[in-house]
Amino acid sequence: MIEHVDIVCGLAWGDEAKGKITSELSAKENYDFVCRWSGGNNAGHTVYISGKQYKTHMIPTGVFYGIKSIIGPACVVDPFSFLEEIAYLEKNGFDTSCIKISPKAHIVTQTHIREDREQYHKQLGTTARGIAPCYRDKAARKGCQAKDESLLAPYLWDEKLYGRILCEGAQGAWLDLDYGNYPYVTSSVTLPYGACSLGFPPQAIRNIYGSAKIYDTRSGIDPDFPESLLADKQLLKIADAGCEYGVTTGRRRKVKWLNLHKLIDAVNLTGSTHIIISKTDVIKSTGVFKIWDSHLIPFESIDDMLSYIDVRLRSSCSLIKSIRFSYSPERI
């Protein structure tokens, strides 16, 4: 029997410190499962355990705490990348026996990766991990499922979830296949309702933790993030202070001022109840305090800026229970 489900989702274009939130919740909330519901190794999470940094791309954060970590049926799995990640975790002393894959997840093949690298990567700025071609073949009913891949046989898990569940999102709301700036989107559902594909009803959802940054960033190609952003000295200062490079690709992210309208829309679209806004320490260190709210608004201090954001979010988003501004890359 499922007791309750909590979900961590991104409120922007990915890279919003979801891994940090999932890690802290995993450490404190006594979950029975931590589950990934969409995407593949085109995502990346950075977590800190006892002060040491670890990076994952496909495997849920529960593995760092010995919690059953499930890769769900709506995910796509590159077997070779997955096994490399298993070896990385084992080398660092973590027990990987808790990691399981739905037999219904689809397999990313080397053909998918080649096609992505030669076509989609150049046109749309994908991560060239074969994700889009794999989802296309799944929709065309000609994909290969994990149950048919012998390399993954030791990790297959076709049971039902129970107890307390944490769902770990990949990418962010504005990369969603339906709601993002199409076609500059990912190939799967990034919004919290997609987590129900793991096998629970919407009524089981308790809290939705929405993750954002105090400024906006974007990897890859998107007309809403033009190349000219890379010439803005203040934004470059923020990018350098925030070490804005992709976990998966190493690409430099483009930085913009926080678009408060987009954030409010994302909070309401996802139904987020708990908002965590990270990189507050970064923006504080730069001494540049600006956001976009119909027009560019400068602030005299970090406190004035955070107070404005807090008031606007609470007045515009009725489901919010708490808002937290994080000053640490390691903690909420």
This prediction has a pTM of 0.95
Structural domain count, the chain? 1
Six-digit token pair at 144?
Answer: 């290969």
The predicted pLDDT at position 143 comes to 97
**Cβ–Cβ < 8 Å for 203, 209:** no
Bond prior to 73 in cis (omega within 30° of 0): no
- Is 219 part of any domain? yes
Residue 271 belongs to what H/E stretch? none
Confidence of residue 234 (pLDDT cuts 50, 70, 90): very high
pLDDT at 246: 67
From 6, 45, 78, 106, the catalytic residue: 45
| 330 within domain boundaries | no
Is 251's pLDDT higher than 80? Answer: no
CA gap 279, 225 in Å, rounded: 19
| 45 is an active site residue | yes
Check whether 248 has a pLDDT greater than 80.
no
The domain in which residue 233 lies consists of 2-325
Instruction: Report the first-to-last Cα separation within the chain, whole angstroms.
Output: 30
Contact 31, 191 (CB under 8 A): no
| 46 vs 265, residue with greater confidence | 265
* CATH code (residue 204): 3.40.440.10
265 is catalytic: no
Is 332 among the domain residues? no
Q: What is the mean pLDDT of the chain?
A: 95
User: In the numeric block, which tokens belong to residue 290?
Assistant: 């600006």
27-52 tens-digit pLDDT? 999 999 999 999 999 888 889 998 89
Does a structural domain hold residue 180?
Answer: yes
Can you give the pLDDT at residue 124?
A: 79
301-317: pLDDT as tens digits:
999 999 999 999 999 99
- 331 within some domain: no
Q: Of the listed 4, 6, 15, 232, which one is catalytic?
A: 15
Q: Residue 292: which H helix or E strand, with range?
A: strand 290-292
Mean pLDDT, residues 241-253 taken together:
78
Q: What's the confidence (pLDDT) of residue 123?
A: 80
